[in-house]
C-alpha cells in the first residue's frame, strides 16, 4: 500500500512516498517548478510511474482553523490530480509541518541556505507520517 504525499508550494513542492507496507514515510525529494501547469504534469508523471494507492496533499490551514488562498490552491490541486489520474486524493492539515521541518534541519546543524533546499521534502514526509499514523 504505497502512499504519496505532496507539500505544494509556489516554486518548490515536496514529495514523499511511504514504504510498500504503508507504515513509515520513506523516500522524499523536492520538485522545483514555478509553473502550476507543468507541476501538475510532473505530479501526474510521478503518479503514473509510482502508482500510489492514495495521494495525500498538504492543506495549509491557518492556526485559527480558517482557510485562505493557499488552501484553495491545495483543494484545486487535489481535484485536478484525482480527475487526471483516477487516484484517490486526501487533504491533510499541514499546520506546523514546515516549522517542524525547519526545526529538525536546524537541530541537525544544516545551514539556513541548505535548509531551503530540503525543507519541502521533509515537510512532505512529516505530512505523510501524520497521515500514516492516523490510519493505525
pLDDT digits (tens, 9 = 90+) for 28-65: 999 999 999 999 999 999 999 999 999 999 998 887 87
Q: Which three cell numbers stand for residue 35?
A: 509553473
Q: Phi and psi dihedrals of 58, rounded to 5?
A: -65, 130
pLDDT digits (tens, 9 = 90+) for 59-82: 988 878 788 888 999 999 999 999
DSSP-derived secondary structure letter, 33: -
Q: Rounded to an integer, what distance in angstroms lies between the CA atom of residue 5 and that of residue 10?
A: 16
Shortest CA distance to 7 belongs to which of 38, 52, 43?
A: 43
DSSP-derived secondary structure letter, 3: E
Taking the model in full, what pTM does it have?
0.85
Domains of the chain: 3-135 (3.30.420.140)
Question: Looking at the DSSP assignment, which residues form a beta bridge with residue 41?
Answer: none
Q: Would you say 128 and 6 are in contact if contact means Cβ atoms under 8 Å apart?
A: no
Amino acid at each position: 500500500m504505497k502512499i504519496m504525499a505532496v507539500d505544494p508550494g509556489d516554486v518548490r513542492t515536496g514529495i514523499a512516498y511511504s514504504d510498500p507496507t504503508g507504515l513509515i514515510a520513506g523516500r522524499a525529494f523536492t520538485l522545483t517548478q514555478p509553473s502550476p501547469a507543468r507541476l501538475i504534469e510532473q505530479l501526474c508523471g510521478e503518479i503514473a510511474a509510482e502508482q500510489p494507492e492514495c495521494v495525500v496533499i498538504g492543506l495549509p490551514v491557518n492556526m485559527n482553523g480558517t482557510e485562505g488562498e493557499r488552501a484553495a490552491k491545495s483543494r484545486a490541486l487535489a481535484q485536478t490530480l484525482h480527475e487526471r489520474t483516477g487516484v484517490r486524493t486526501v487533504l491533510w492539515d499541514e499546520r506546523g509541518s514546515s516549522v517542524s521541518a525547519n526545526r529538525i534541519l536546524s537541530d541537525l546543524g544544516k545551514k539556513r541556505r541548505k535548509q531551503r533546499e530540503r525543507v519541502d521534502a521533509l515537510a512532505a514526509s512529516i505530512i505523510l507520517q501524520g497521515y500514516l499514523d492516523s490510519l493505525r
